[in-house]
Amino acid sequence: MFGMFSSGSGWKFSSLGVLGWDSMSMSLIFLVFWISGMMMMASYSLESKGSSYMFYSLVYLLTVILFLCFSIMNMFYFYLVFEASLIPTLMLILGWGYQPERLQAGSYMLMYTVSASLPLLMGVLCVYSLFGGINFFSVVYVDSLMTEGIYMSVFMLSLMLAFLVKLPMYFTHLWLPKAHVEAPVAGSMVLAGVLLKLGGYGLMRMMSFFWGGFHTVYSVVGILSLWGAMITSLICLRQSDVKSLIAYSSVAHMGLLIGGLMSGVYWGWEGSLIIMLAHGVCSSGLFALAGLSYDILSSRSVVVNKGMLVLLPSLTFWWFLLSVCNLAGPPSLNLVGELFLISSILSYSDYLCFVIGVLSLFAAGYSLYLYVSTQHGKVSLYMNSTVINLSGRVNSMFFFHWVPLNLIIFKVDL
């Protein structure tokens, strides 16, 4: 399906006035529609609670906004819909979240992303007045001499900051675990699956617009986020909240992505796109699993979520498959992406092999920790230990999460 639009090795591009698509935006648009369908399947329990009408309208609205976001070529309109995607997400968290802390989480998310994206607005307006054009597909060849100097660095950084917060990079990630913990299942799925990728997409577009222009900022951002990713993977190991663990794991993966992207070579670029797709589907599936466990056990703590192999043997199967994908186990798209990224980072500097080694090791570590601590062990005394069968709807949802991860590997020239 993805291959259809990228047959051959060409960089196909089709345009329709304001909207335009190349193979990068097309594959991300497929991701949007895929995840939206999964969101609806995962939130089936809302049907019985009677608030499903507004929920579905919000999901539709978000899907349309994200579709526009990935297909708009004009930088200013992109900023507009980029910010517009925040409102339905906020409504999802505020309206269907579980605890009162969701208010704090929502305002964290709003303040972090908006305060980082106002520099982007200034930057886009500056680009317009400096270069006279704000079309993504027109490339400005920036002389590397031009990017010396503190003002130019600040200008470049202001263009990237919004996306670095959205991704999120290590130092600006604090809103993400909060938002994930408080969001409903569908909210976390779209947040991890698509909204983070919006940041990666914007970063890649900005970098291709200023081809060769970011070198002063590249190194700082790339290395900071790689070290941040290493620290985050250590943080993951001491999380007791399943959703928070998955959220931190996505911070770690995105740190690797930024590192690869900032190495400035084509492999890093390709690897970023692949890992965006892979991580989008994979983390969305993990959040769906966590949400389902929460529906059954009413807890997200790893202390209570124990011995689910006894309670839900068929769910364990999906936990296993998706954890393996999360740690970049062999037949998965994540593996391809990480290999691309790691080789591009090593081409940038050999000294980073230590950081990458620790990062990959602990990525495997926390994925195993997530799997083992929830599936094995003794069932909590407070639980009825009767085997629960999963419905066909749930099984097919996880099947559709897992299939693209292990089939697209046959056609990775996206």
Binding site for another protein (CB under 8 A): 51, 54, 79-84, 86-87, 91, 94-95, 100, 103-104, 106-107, 110-111, 114-115, 118, 121-122, 125-126, 128-129
Instruction: Count helices and strands (H / E) in the chain.
Output: 17, 4
Strand 19-22 and strand 13-16: the pairing is antiparallel
Distance CA 17, CA 337 (A): 33
Extended strands (E) in 70-204: 140-141
> Minimum distance between the CB of residue 104 and another protein, rounded to whole angstroms?
8
Cβ nearer to another protein, comparing 131 with 266: 131
Cβ nearer to another protein, comparing 105 with 342: 105
> Minimum distance between the CB of residue 51 and another protein, rounded to whole angstroms?
8
161 CB-contact burial (10 Å; exposed 0-12 / middle 13-18 / buried 19+):
buried
Cβ nearer to another protein, comparing 125 with 310: 125
107: tokens are 């305002």
Cβ nearer to another protein, comparing 45 with 99: 99
Residue type, 292: L
> Minimum distance between the CB of residue 88 and another protein, rounded to whole angstroms?
10
Q: Is 14 helix (H, G, I), strand (E, B) or coil?
A: strand
Cβ nearer to another protein, comparing 126 with 237: 126
Strand 140-141 and strand 210-211: the pairing is parallel
116: tokens are 């980082």
> Minimum distance between the CB of residue 38 and another protein, rounded to whole angstroms?
25
Using the CB atoms, write b or e for 339-378: b if 16+ within 10 Å. Answer: ebbbebbeebeeebeebbebbbebbbbbbebbbebbbebe
CA contacts within 13 A on the Cβ side of 98: 17
CB under 8 Å to 366, separation ≥6 — which residues? Answer: 233, 236, 237, 245, 249
Cβ nearer to another protein, comparing 86 with 390: 86
Extended strands (E) in 159-217: 210-211
178: tokens are 């909060």
> Minimum distance between the CB of residue 180 and another protein, rounded to whole angstroms?
18
Cβ nearer to another protein, comparing 107 with 347: 107
Cβ nearer to another protein, comparing 126 with 139: 126
Cβ nearer to another protein, comparing 106 with 337: 106
Cβ nearer to another protein, comparing 100 with 392: 100
> Minimum distance between the CB of residue 290 and another protein, rounded to whole angstroms?
24
> Minimum distance between the CB of residue 103 and another protein, rounded to whole angstroms?
4
Distance CA 255, CA 274 (A): 15
> Minimum distance between the CB of residue 82 and another protein, rounded to whole angstroms?
8
Answer for the pair 375, 305: CB distance below 8 angstroms, yes or no.
no
Q: Which residue has the tokens 């769910």?
A: 315
Distance CA 86, CA 113 (A): 8
Q: Which residue has the tokens 């998310």?
A: 109
> Minimum distance between the CB of residue 57 and another protein, rounded to whole angstroms?
11
> Minimum distance between the CB of residue 81 and another protein, rounded to whole angstroms?
8
